[in-house]
Amino acid sequence: MSIVLVGVNHKTAPVEMRELLAFSEEACTEGLRLLVDGEVVREGLIVSTCNRVEVVAATTTEKMQEGTERISDFLSVSRNLPRDFFYDHVYNRTEEDAVRHLFRVTSSLDSMVVGEPQVLGQVRRAYSLALEAGTAGRVLNRLVHHAFHVAKRVRTETGIAANAVSISYMAVELGKKIFNTLKGHSVLLIGGGEMAELSARHLINAGAEGVLIANRTVETAERLAAEFNGTAISLNDLPDYLAEADIVICSTGAEDYVVTEALARKALEERRNRPAFFIDISVPRNVDPAIGELPNMFVFDIDDLEAVVTSNIREREKEAERAELIVESEIMQFQQALRALDFGPTIGALRQKLQDIARLELARQKNRLGQLTPEQERAVEALLLSTVNKISHPVLSQMRRSYEASDIETIQAWRDIFGLEE
Amino acid sequence: MRSLLLAVLAAYIVAAIHAILAFVNKRKALHRISLWSLAAGFALHTAALLADWIIDGHYPLFYRRETLSFLAWTLAATYGLVLFRYGTQALGAFILPPISVLVFIAAIIQSDSNTAVSASGFSTTWLFPVHTTLVIFAYAAFFVVFLASSMYLFQERALKLKTFGAAFHRLPSLTTVNEIATSAAAIGLTMLTVGIATGMMWSASRDGHIWRNDPKEIFAALTWLLYLLLIIYRSTAGWRGRRAAWLGVAGFALVLCTFFGARLMGGYHVFG
């Protein structure tokens, strides 16, 4: 058996094309039943996300080329697009290359932001859709589980997902670095805007408790307070509340400092020197940078955050190189396992071969046996065959057992003993 | 018990190397190996100390070799406690190498039982071993304060300068190292207080002198004062963070003076 893969991703195709090729979940199960014919394409799986559409299939090694063709046709028919439309943007991968591609996708090495965790869940979902459609069999089961295993190894053995690579997530990372856990730590959101709100949401998801919202417009403050289950306060009351917050996210359109050094000094005193940090994503800045000089107060403006994010991305790319090595070593293991999966038919062939030997010997010795009645002839044949079967049965069933357990080493041993190399 | 100590040394070295590798590569498996070999080393070490006690007939904390070995044992125990309480693996990479060095020195020092002072006179009363044990444990606690404070200062600086290197991502959070430093300082101070008190009582019961202006005594008193200040400032919250951490680092310099320096200046506490 061989793996073939046909797909487009964010590097090869623009979003206009990707959205035309994308599959909804229903289209996925439906399409899979159409794609898998049991003849050319034995098993199938479709991973469709906003950044990629990948069709993975299992075919016999002889029909690999046909399989790729069939997938391209399938894409054209099911998405109702002429093949020429996406021809230049689609990549075809077979065997090792197809395995490598899926492993890299699942481990988030092929993602727009290397190391992002969503893609693993998306592959998992795609797999359960294929199971639902009944198009994931022995080969794809093995492949997908191996891909999950690779993703897990990459995640735990490299720092590929270690450091935040988005500004909104930096707040969580810094919070954990300073407070160890965000549980029991409060957030003050001054102003609003997409990035500030996203930061606050990340913090709450990570365990932060107690959100204060200060906004110029009362409606916005109340809307955000309802959304984050927090309390709306007036911007004028900021001096009274600043000391309560461990994490301050500031994003207003103000021309001048909203959090002045004097305010921060007062807060620090009231907080009895407990640490606090400020994330200032407003331009012009709203948090006086001089606050960063105060003990136990940390200030990050948008440039600081961007610099850290850039260095974190570079760090991830370095880790990605280590991840590629893991992927390579796992490809070899998978290819071995795949060869083991081809062993099933070989066992049947071996049984046939042994019986053929018995029949051939009978034919050769027939003349010497003299005239036999048809009954006697059948008895001799039965005798031979049942001897062969009785002797070979335990061996064959043992073989089948190692095949079913996908015990690669033992299968290799069986191949060597009986000279079953293809 | 030299061969046993060599086995201890081997286990500690394995633990130290794996702790460093675990710190660099962030691998849990390496950390586990480090823990297991540390546990094995610690068990052997305990056995070695007990064997010394039984064979030599005095509490194994008197001669230089014994003191170093005992200090290493104390540090290993302290690290175990911190790990159990805070789960800070990163500490291992910094505490296990010095432990190994201490055991190494203890293993190569020739048996020094022929020193002028004999241990026999000191083990007749239980006060002396209590005094030395408590003081050694206090030193170990202060070393942990030193490590945690250094980690605090390093990370605080990185946060202020916004330059996050590889080490920054591998160290425990500011709050954690701050807590470790605070509780280790409190425990260390308690031990030092009782340790000094028992030393005085022992000395008084021996020849009536409580205090003899010995360099080691003076340094110990200074150390005690400094950690008392640290505790007071921390609890009144004025000196949280960087300043307290600096005090934790400076305090350890004083501990080193007490431990090694006093020996160079001579005096009454020439042993240990």
User: In terms of domains, do B72 and B158 share one?
Assistant: no
Range with the largest mean pLDDT of A68-72, A194-198, B10-14, B131-135: B10-14
pLDDT of residue A97: 92
User: In terms of domains, do B229 and B134 share one?
Assistant: yes
Beta-carbon count within 10 A of A154 CB: 28
User: In terms of domains, do B97 and B131 share one?
Assistant: no
pLDDT of residue B121: 57
Q: What's the rounded Cα separation, in Å, for the pair A85 and A75?
A: 11
> A223 touching B, CB under 8 A?
no
Residue numbers in A near B26 (CB within 8 A): 159, 162
Strand-pair partners of B126: none
Indicate yes or no: CB of A275 within 8 angstroms of CB of B241.
yes
Residue B20 in domain: yes
pLDDT at A8 over 50: yes
Report how far apart, in Å, the C-alpha atoms of A211 and of each of A176, A229, A247, A253 are. Answer: 17, 7, 10, 21
A274, B240 contact by CB (below 8 A)? yes
pLDDT at A339 over 70: yes
User: In terms of domains, do B141 and B171 share one?
Assistant: yes
> B55 touching A, CB under 8 A?
no
Residue with tokens 């894409």: A75
Helix or strand holding residue A301 (H, E): strand A297-301
Q: The tokens of A341 are what?
A: 């999966």
Q: What is the mean pLDDT of chain A?
A: 87
B139, B77 contact by CB (below 8 A)? no
Nearest to A178 by CA among B241, B244, B82: B241
The confidence band for B46, taking pLDDT boundaries of 50, 70 and 90, is very high
Helix or strand holding residue A55 (H, E): strand A52-59
Report how far apart, in Å, the C-alpha atoms of A284 and of each of A176, A185, A251, A264, A303 are. Answer: 27, 27, 10, 19, 12
Range with the largest mean pLDDT of A258-272, A363-377, B143-157, B225-239: B143-157
Range of the domain at B176: 125-272
| 3-state class percentages of chain B: helix first, strand second, coil last, to nearest 5 | 80, 0, 20
A52-59 sheet: strands from edge to edge: A43-48, A52-59, A2-9, A91-94
The confidence band for A1, taking pLDDT boundaries of 50, 70 and 90, is confident
Q: What's the rounded Cα separation, in Å, for the pair B28 and A266?
A: 43
Q: What's the rounded Cα separation, in Å, for the pair B235 and B262?
A: 31
The confidence band for B272, taking pLDDT boundaries of 50, 70 and 90, is very low
User: In terms of domains, do B99 and B135 share one?
Assistant: no
Is residue B27 exposed (0-12), middle (13-18) or buried (19+ Cβ within 10 Å)? middle
Tens-place pLDDT, residues A51-64 = 899 999 999 888 88
Q: What's the rounded Cα separation, in Å, for the pair A382 and B262?
A: 99
Which whole number is the average pLDDT over B112-129?
Answer: 61
A225, A253 contact by CB (below 8 A)? no
Residue B119 in domain: no
pLDDT at B124 over 70: no
The confidence band for A148, taking pLDDT boundaries of 50, 70 and 90, is very high
Residue B17 in domain: yes
Q: The tokens of B99 are what?
A: 């432990």
Task: Tell me the percentage of chain A whose pLDDT exceeds 70.
Answer: 99
- Could you list the beta-strand ranges (E) of A89-204: 91-94, 187-191
Q: What's the rounded Cα separation, in Å, for the pair A210 and A203?
A: 11
Which whole number is the average pLDDT over A1-23?
Answer: 88
Q: What's the rounded Cα separation, in Å, for the pair B246 and B252?
A: 10
A349, A9 contact by CB (below 8 A)? no
B119, B111 contact by CB (below 8 A)? no
Residue numbers in B near A274 (CB within 8 A): 237, 240
Report how far apart, in Å, the C-alpha atoms of B159 and of each of A164, A184, B153 are. Answer: 15, 22, 10
Q: Which of A177, A269, A279, A308 to mutate to test the interface with B (most CBs of B within 10 A)?
A: A177
Residue B117 in domain: no
Measured between CA atoms, the residue of chain A closest to residue B237 is A272
Residue A234, SS3? Answer: coil
> B29 touching A, CB under 8 A?
no
CATH code, B64: 1.20.120
User: In terms of domains, do B136 and B101 share one?
Assistant: no
Residue B172 in domain: yes
To the question of pTM greater than 0.90 for the whole model, the response is: no
Q: What's the rounded Cα separation, in Å, for the pair A392 and A408?
A: 21
In angstroms, what separates the C-alpha of A186 from chain B's closest C-alpha?
A: 15
Tens-place pLDDT, residues A170-219 = 889 889 989 999 998 999 999 888 888 888 888 998 889 889 999 888 88
* 151-180 in chain B: CB under 8 A from chain A: 155, 159-160, 162, 164, 168-169, 172-176
CB pairs < 8 Å spanning A and B: 59
User: In terms of domains, do B37 and B148 share one?
Assistant: no
Residue B134 in domain: yes
What domain count does chain B have?
2
Helix or strand holding residue A346 (H, E): helix A343-365
Catalytic residues of A: 50
Tens-place pLDDT, residues B74-101 = 999 999 999 999 988 889 999 999 999 9
Task: Tell me the percentage of chain B whose pLDDT exceeds 90.
Answer: 40
Residue numbers in B near A308 (CB within 8 A): 162, 164
ipTM confidence score: 0.83
User: In terms of domains, do B47 and B158 share one?
Assistant: no
Domain final position from B44, B78, B106: B106
Which whole number is the average pLDDT over A104-124?
Answer: 89
Q: Is A371 left (phi over 0), alpha (psi -120 to 50) or beta?
A: beta
pLDDT of residue A16: 85
User: In terms of domains, do B91 and B138 share one?
Assistant: no
Q: What's the rounded Cα separation, in Å, for the pair A303 and A287?
A: 13
Indicate yes or no: CB of B237 within 8 angstroms of CB of A272.
yes
pLDDT of residue A143: 92
Residue numbers in B near A307 (CB within 8 A): 162
Report how far apart, in Å, the C-alpha atoms of A48 and of each of A110, B136, B240 are. Answer: 14, 64, 52
Q: What is the DSSP letter of A422?
A: -
The confidence band for A341, taking pLDDT boundaries of 50, 70 and 90, is confident
Q: C-alpha dihedral over B227, B233, B237, B238, to 10 degrees?
A: -130
User: In terms of domains, do B53 and B84 share one?
Assistant: yes
Nearest to B156 by CA among A52, A227, A297, A382: A297
Q: What's the rounded Cα separation, in Å, for the pair A296 and B178?
A: 12
Indicate yes or no: CB of A156 within 8 angstroms of CB of B176.
no
Residue B178 in domain: yes
> A180 touching B, CB under 8 A?
yes
Measured between CA atoms, the residue of chain B closest to residue A293 is B160
In angstroms, what separates the C-alpha of B165 from chain A's closest C-alpha?
A: 9
Residue B114 in domain: no
Q: What's the rounded Cα separation, in Å, for the pair A133 and A45?
A: 9
Residue numbers in A near B168 (CB within 8 A): 177
Beta-carbon count within 10 A of B23 CB: 22
User: In terms of domains, do B136 and B262 share one?
Assistant: yes
pLDDT of residue B141: 95
User: In terms of domains, do B101 and B151 share one?
Assistant: no
Roughly what angle, to the nearest 10 degrees, separates helices A118-133 and A95-106?
Answer: 120
